[in-house]
């Protein structure tokens, strides 16, 4: 955490991005959750038996609804419109509300992602400037013991990975837990028993995803090392092209670069395949739980 907060300093002034990000994310999560909650009234409006609509729904409740009966209150709204204006008008009303809710949800999602992207670019700018300045201030002996490919990799690729990790963590720490809490709260409002049952899949899913991530971390380290070597070979080949041509070593240099390129490609392919496992595994476990 000490290293993380030290890296987070490159995002300053973070409040310039954090305050609007929190505001837009809160609104996105609220409207996104409302989209889920509005599915039940939509289905009720489409398939409701006109004879089952209670006459008591002719007037909406006067008191403010408590959270525990929020879903019941939402379901009463289409019943009220069916009773007073007919199913056709009730369907129009529910569809308009859903369209408006989805529109607002996506608008705030766009601005939330846009603010986060601005923060990423700002952090990358500061971090890359600091790393390059630090490299230029190092003593000459450092450059004798380091390959230029490693230095180029640090300034270009590694800096970008670190920046993405720092800013992406902010998004995960705030947005994902908030979305989860609001969704679980709505699910508890619908049915506490079904929600408790659905949560049983979380430990198993978490265990499997943790195994995938642990292996990914090792592969990512190897990928960065291989990429640095590949850049080193490229720099050596271009810097010493006259020597390579003079000693007729073109094929040797080609083969060496190709071998490193193949190694890097194989590691990247394995990483992508392992990353792509996460979503299917989670989806399968979720459907299995529902079944």
> Is pLDDT above 50 for 63?
no
pLDDT tens track for 171-208: 778 888 888 888 888 888 777 888 888 787 778 777 88
pLDDT band at 107 (very low <50, low <70, confident <90, very high): very high
Cα 126 to Cα 8, 23, 118, 159, 163: the distances in Å are 11, 25, 12, 10, 10
> Is pLDDT above 60 for 29?
yes
Average pLDDT over residues 202-223: 80
pLDDT band at 65 (very low <50, low <70, confident <90, very high): very low
Average pLDDT score, the chain: 79
Give dist(CA 148, CA 167) in Å, integer. Answer: 28
> Is pLDDT above 70 for 57?
no
Average pLDDT over residues 243-252: 86
Phi, psi values for residue 227, rounded to 5°:
-65, -40
Give dist(CA 18, CA 111) in Å, integer. Answer: 12
pLDDT band at 27 (very low <50, low <70, confident <90, very high): very high
For residue 23, what pLDDT is reported?
92
pLDDT band at 250 (very low <50, low <70, confident <90, very high): confident
Cα 245 to Cα 23, 229, 252, 259: the distances in Å are 61, 22, 11, 20
Q: Is residue 6 part of a domain?
A: yes
Taking the whole predicted model, whether its pTM rises above 0.75 is answered as no
> Is pLDDT above 70 for 251?
yes
Q: Is residue 289 part of a domain?
A: no
pLDDT band at 219 (very low <50, low <70, confident <90, very high): confident
> Is pLDDT above 60 for 49?
no
Phi, psi values for residue 14, rounded to 5°:
-70, -30
pLDDT band at 18 (very low <50, low <70, confident <90, very high): confident
For residue 106, what pLDDT is reported?
92
For residue 58, what pLDDT is reported?
45
Q: Is residue 133 part of a domain?
A: yes
Show the domain range for 129: 1-147
- The sign of the dihedral angle between the CA atoms of 151, 153, 156, 159 is negative
Nearest to 102 by CA among 44, 37, 43: 37
- Residue 203: its H or E element: helix 201-239
Average pLDDT over residues 262-267: 88
Average pLDDT over residues 235-258: 85
Three-class DSSP labels, the chain? CHHHHHHHHHHCCCHHHHHHHHHHHHHHHHHHHHHHHCHHHHHHHHHCCHHHCCHHHHCCCCCCCCHHHHHHHHHHHHHHHHHHHCHHHHHHHHHHHHHHHHHHHHHHHHHHHHHHHHHHHHHHHHHHHHHHHHHHHCCHHHHHHCCHHHHHHHHHHHHHHHHHHHHHHHHHHHHHHHHHHHHHHHHHHHCHHHHHHHCCHHHHHHHHHHHHHHHHHHHHHHHHHHHHHHHHHHHHHHHCHHHHHHCCCHHHHHHHHHHHHHHHHHHHHHHHHHHHHHHHHHHHHHHHHHC
Average pLDDT over residues 147-157: 74
Q: Is residue 222 part of a domain?
A: no
Average pLDDT over residues 207-227: 81
Q: Is residue 97 part of a domain?
A: yes
Q: Is residue 90 part of a domain?
A: yes
For residue 69, what pLDDT is reported?
58
Give dist(CA 108, CA 175) in Å, integer. Answer: 13
For residue 111, what pLDDT is reported?
93
Q: Is residue 240 part of a domain?
A: no
pLDDT band at 48 (very low <50, low <70, confident <90, very high): low
> How many distinct structural domains can be found in the chain?
1
Q: Is residue 235 part of a domain?
A: no
β strands within the chain, DSSP E: none
Average pLDDT over residues 106-135: 88
CB 224 within 8 A of CB 157: yes
């Amino acid at each position: 955490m000490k290293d993380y907060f030290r890296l987070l300093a490159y995002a300053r002034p973070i409040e310039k991005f954090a305050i609007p990000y929190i505001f837009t994310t809160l609104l996105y999560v609220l409207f996104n959750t409302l989209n889920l909650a509005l599915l039940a009234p939509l289905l009720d409006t489409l398939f409701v038996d006109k004879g089952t609509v209670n006459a008591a729904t002719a007037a909406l409740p006067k008191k403010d609804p408590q959270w525990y009966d929020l879903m019941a209150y939402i379901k009463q709204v289409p019943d009220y419109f069916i009773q007073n204006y007919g199913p056709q008008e009730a369907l129009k009303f529910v569809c308009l509300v859903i369209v408006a809710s989805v529109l607002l949800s996506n608008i705030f999602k766009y601005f939330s992602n846009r603010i986060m992207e601005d923060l990423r670019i700002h952090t990358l700018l500061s971090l890359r400037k600091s790393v390059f300045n630090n490299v230029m201030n190092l003593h000459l002996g450092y450059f004798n013991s380091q390959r230029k490919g490693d230095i180029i990799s640090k300034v270009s690729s590694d800096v970008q990975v670190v920046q993405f990790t720092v800013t992406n963590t902010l998004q995960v720490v705030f947005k994902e837990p908030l979305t989860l809490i609001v969704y679980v709260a709505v699910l508890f409002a619908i049915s506490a028993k079904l929600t408790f049952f659905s949560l049983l899949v979380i430990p198993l899913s978490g265990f499997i995803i943790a195994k995938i991530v642990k292996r990914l971390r090792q592969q990512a380290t190897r990928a960065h090392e291989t990429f640095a070597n590949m850049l080193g070979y490229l720099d050596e080949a271009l810097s010493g092209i006259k020597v390579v041509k003079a000693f007729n070593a073109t094929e040797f240099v080609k083969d060496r670069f190709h071998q490193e390129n193949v190694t890097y490609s194989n590691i990247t392919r394995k990483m992508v395949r392992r990353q792509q496992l996460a979503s299917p595994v989670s989806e399968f476990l979720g459907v299995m739980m529902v079944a």
